[in-house]
Amino acid sequence: MLASIFMVLSSLIILTLGTIHLVYTFWGKKLTPRDQTLRIRMTEVSPVITRETTMWKAWVGFNASHSYGAILFGLIYG
């Protein structure tokens, strides 16, 4: 019984952190570069693998996918 409680509590921590990370990814300023010129440059430059995206979109997608992964983990094990 105690092991199940600890498992649920630990999954709630991951769920909470994933949710906060998702909020910061789309609506917060915590995951943006301090240097505004760097952010602007990231919206202009594409990675070598494809020209159909920018480094900024890749950065946001990376953060969002990891947020969703943590949320999914928390929901499954919770």
Tokens describing residue 71:
């949320």
Tokens describing residue 29:
């300023």
| pLDDT tens digits, one per residue of 23-38 | 999 998 899 999 999 9
Task: Report pTM.
Answer: 0.84
Whether 14 has a pLDDT exceeding 90, the answer reads yes
DSSP structure class, residue 27 = T
- In this structure, which amino acid lies at residue 52? E
Q: How many CB atoms neighbour CB 40 within 10 A?
A: 12
- H-type alpha helices, the chain: 2-26, 36-44, 55-77
Whether 75 has a pLDDT exceeding 90, the answer reads yes
Question: What is the model's pLDDT at position 20?
Answer: 97
* Those residues with Cβ within 8 angstroms of residue 52's Cβ, 6 or more apart along the chain or in another chain: 46
Distance CA(60)–CA(22), nearest Å, equals 10
| pLDDT tens digits, one per residue of 20-74 | 999 999 998 899 999 999 999 999 999 999 999 999 999 999 999 999 999 999 9
Question: What is the model's pLDDT at position 17?
Answer: 97
